[in-house]
Amino acid sequence: MRKFIITSVAFLCVATSSWAEQIIHYDNLPVTIELRNGEERSIQFGSHVQVGITKGQQVKKLFRAQSAQGAVHFLPYEAFDKQRVQIRRMDDGKVILLDLIATDKADGEKSLEDVRIVLASDNVVSSDDAAASMPEKVELITPIDLTRYAAQRLYGPTRLHHDQAGISETPLAVKGAVRIFKGPARYKTLSKPVVAYQGGGYYLAALYIRNVSDETVQLDYLDLNLPFSHATLQHHSLEPQGTPGDSTVLYLISERSLKETLYPWTYYQDLKRETQAAIADS
């Protein structure tokens, strides 16, 4: 029988559900978290956190870990022995060590309850508890925030990748290469959406742009052939293909969904007309 290193355990019943939440008070000793193969379990930390996973764990793909709004959701893909995971709280930098253990779920066995990790500095009782339990106020996300967040994810080192409340990744509406320019850059560049985010009522699409000509190409915002409210180019000039500086990223923001922003493309309508005219003239 496994021994769990827990300083104190309590159960908090939720009024609207019979489900329970396990409260663990952290005292700088690794906390053993039991998981069930194929069953997701959520660990609440009361603050936005960063999950530290070793390269060995990434290669083995023993489990999935997703962090959002102060919680980490673990989903084991198989049964495994103790795996050490490091959790760092973003607001105060405090580190919490977890030892994950996954076992197969027996027939008729109940699902595990969610867990809340409480630090000594958090375990303060006051008359303001009711107010403290109110949801955290999310700051207004602006187009500048979205652009900066996307640029850090694409160009910044991994150590600078931090979750930001109110910004989340969203699926791209199109796949493959597309052309987004009018004017001189129309036939000299190829563009491909690579990632998208949303927040504050805005949608951002980051598009990778590559020069496919042997000439230097100047990019002009006036040549954009897409609806948008804000646009930012990482670079405004592309060197000839095959040389350093022949590619860049465009951050395109709209208040409309990406499906409306990135599709349909009037370029393809124009290309069809030009092709038909060329056939007629030949």
DSSP assignments along 144-196, one per residue: HHHHHHHHHHHHS-GGG----TT-EE---S--S-B--B-GGGTTTEEEEEEEE
pTM beyond 0.85: the answer is no
The per-residue pLDDT for 5 is 35
The per-residue pLDDT for 8 is 33
Q: How confident is the model at residue 76 (pLDDT cuts 50, 70, 90)?
A: very high
Share of the chain above pLDDT 90, in %: 29
Smallest CA-to-CA distance from 237 within 262, 211, 271 is with 211
Q: How confident is the model at residue 176 (pLDDT cuts 50, 70, 90)?
A: confident
Structural tokens at position 172: 């791209």
- 22-73: per-residue pLDDT in tens? 888 888 888 899 999 999 999 988 778 888 888 888 888 899 988 887 889 9
DSSP one-letter code for 40: -
**Whether pLDDT at 13 is above 60:** no
